[in-house]
Amino acid sequence: MNKVLIVEATLHPNTADALSSAVRFVLEQNGIEYERVQVTGIFEIPAAVSIALDAFDYDGAIVVGSLIGQENITLNTIYQECARGVNDISIHFSLPIGFGIFMAENEAQALEQASVIGKQAALCCLELIKIKNLYQSFHNDSGSGYKN
């Protein structure tokens, strides 16, 4: 049984609810257990994932949240740093992570996109878990692996 961590940024509650509902629907349809952690903004997401990984073992993680407003250097920087942090964690821990963070100009636009983005993030995480399980199985059977 796989267990997935969901980290949700709740700064925009309506969008956060739509994202989270879509993620949980996909996980429940696939029989995946999950735990939810909520943070206020997306900038805190990488730290929350890292802290949770220090305490518990997860087979994957899904991060969701939105930045709403006119595109500017501040929003772009926050988005890029969140993406970089999440990617660094994924690579460092070989952790499958579904990335459901996005930018929208207004709340209506965000709500239109949230369900699709949440679903895609969950499906991506599950796909990466399958790939990881396949290669771990292969590695365990053959004794081979990447060697420098």
CATH number at residue 87: 3.40.50.960
- pLDDT value of residue 47: 98
pLDDT tens per residue, range 52-91: 999 999 999 999 999 999 989 999 999 999 999 999 999 9
Q: Does some domain include residue 50?
A: yes
| Burial state string for 102-127 with b = 16 or more CB within 10 A and e = fewer than 16 | bbbeeeeebbebbbebbbbbbbbbbe
**pLDDT at residue 145 in the model:** 55
pTM over the 0.95 mark: no
CB-side neighbour CA atoms (13 Å) of 121: 32
Say which residue the tokens 């796909």 belong to.
127
Q: Does 119 reside within a domain? A: yes
Spell out the residues 6+ positions from residue 43 whose beta carbon is closer than 8 angstroms to its own.
Answer: 78, 81, 82
- Distance between CA atoms of 62 and 125, rounded to whole angstroms? 7
CA torsion through residues 52, 53, 58, 61, sign:
positive
Domain that holds residue 95: 3-142
- Please classify residue 96 by burial: count the beta carbons closer than 10 Å to its beta carbon, then call 0-12 exposed, 13-18 middle and 19+ buried: buried
Whole-number Å distance between alpha carbons of 25 and 115: 10
94: left (phi over 0), alpha (psi -120 to 50) or beta: left
| Number of independent structural domains in the chain | 1
pLDDT, residue 143, reads 55
Q: What is the pLDDT of residues 80-133, one digit of tens each?
A: 999 999 999 999 999 999 999 999 999 999 999 999 999 999 999 999 999 999
Tell me whether residue 72 is in a domain: yes
Say what the pLDDT of residue 2 is.
Answer: 87
Give residue 139's pLDDT band: very low, low, confident or very high (50, 70, 90): low
CA distances from 92 to 85, 88, 95, 96, 133 (A): 10, 6, 8, 11, 17
Residue 80 in any domain: the answer is yes
User: Quick check: is 147 in a domain?
Assistant: no
pLDDT exceeds 80 at position 35: yes
- In the structure, what pLDDT confidence band is assigned to residue 136 with cuts at 50, 70 and 90? confident
Determine, yes or no, domain membership for 25.
Answer: yes
**Would you state the pLDDT for residue 148?**
39
